[in-house]
Amino acid sequence: MIPGRRGMTRVLFVCTGNVHRSALAERLLVARLGPGSAVRPGSAGTGAWPRPGMESSTRAVLEELGGDGSGFAARPLTTRLVADAALVLGLAREHREAAVRLVPAALRRCFTLKEFVRLAAGAAVPAGASGVGEVVAAVAARRGGVAPVAPDEDDIADPWGRPHHELYGCARQIDGQVSRLARLLEGGGAGA
């Protein structure tokens, strides 16, 4: 069974502070999903503390890319958030590892965002697959069966404290990944 409630499928993005990367990924995925999608993106941070609102620089970049920052609240990563998610996507390997440490049974549904999209490109998703669980299972089955990449290739660098153009570049990189992810989760196929 896929974690979630009442037909909703939860996808959780994780970064360090839940200030830039995971917040952008959450809200950009919302913007890229079709109307009425059963996928419910969320985000959290391994070192975050609860606070309302989005960083103004992040919100400006998000809105430039078509996302909506209203109602956002940063929150810390918890066991419950990982356990309730059908798919957990760290923005760097350290975030994926933190989620697995909290809920070891979630290993097969924890990836970095870039790793998941990369592995999905060659995954054998069954014909007629109807659900995120089948896509996640097909992608998880590819682990260990493909050539490894350089350690930092699956990470998206933290723009914290960096110039605005680096935050914008980070947001563009995340947007490209979540656009592909949205097609995968909405039934666009692994090659999307």
Mean pLDDT value across residues 76-99: 98
Q: Which residues of 139-160 are buried (b: 16+ CB within 10 A; e: fewer)?
A: bbebeeeeeeeeeeebbbebbe
Does residue 186 carry a pLDDT above 50? yes
Residue 105 — pLDDT band, cuts 50, 70, 90? very high
Q: Does 86 fall in a domain?
A: yes
Range of the domain at 104: 9-185
Residue 4 lies in a domain: no
CATH code of residue 44: 3.40.50.2300
Residue 99 scores a pLDDT above 80:
yes
Residue at 119 is within a domain: yes
Q: What's residue 147's pLDDT?
A: 87
Mean pLDDT, range 162-170, rounded to an integer: 96
Q: Is residue 73 part of a domain?
A: yes
CA distance 71 to 136: 29
Q: Would residue 190 count as lying in a domain? A: no
Query: What pLDDT, on a 0 to 100 scale, did the predictor assign at position 130?
Result: 62
Q: Quote the pLDDT of residue 8.
A: 86
* The pLDDT value given to residue 129: 61
Question: Residue 143: which residues within 8 A CB-CB, separation 6 or more?
Answer: 119
186, 33 Cβ separation under 8 angstroms? yes
Q: Compute the distance between CA of residue 39 and CA of residue 182 in angstroms, rounded to an integer.
A: 9
Residues 65-88 have a mean pLDDT of 97
Q: Is the pLDDT of residue 4 over 80?
A: no
Contacts of 100 (CB under 8 A, 6+ apart): 106, 107, 110
The confidence band for 192, taking pLDDT boundaries of 50, 70 and 90, is very low
Could you give the number of structural domains in the chain? 1
In a domain, 2, yes or no: no
How large a percentage of the chain has pLDDT more than 90? 79
Predicted confidence (pLDDT) at residue 2 exceeds the cutoff of 70: no
Cα–Cα distances in angstroms (integers) from residue 119 to residues 8, 16, 53, 142, 148, in the given order: 24, 24, 33, 7, 11
What are phi and psi for residue 186, nearest 5 degrees? -95, 10
User: What one-character DSSP code corresponds to residue 70?
Assistant: T
Collapse the DSSP code of 121 into the 3-class scheme (helix H, G, I; strand E, B; otherwise coil) and give the result.
coil
CA distances from 100 to 57, 68, 113, 186 (A): 30, 29, 15, 25
In a domain? residue 151: yes
> In the predicted model, is pLDDT for residue 189 greater than 80?
no
Contact 190, 135 (CB under 8 A): yes
Tell me, yes or no, whether 191 lies in a domain: no
Q: Which of 19-23, 41-45, 106-110, 144-148 is the least confident region?
A: 144-148
With a cut of 70, say whether residue 127 has pLDDT above it: no
Q: Whole-number mean pLDDT of the chain? A: 91
Residue 187's SS3 state is: coil
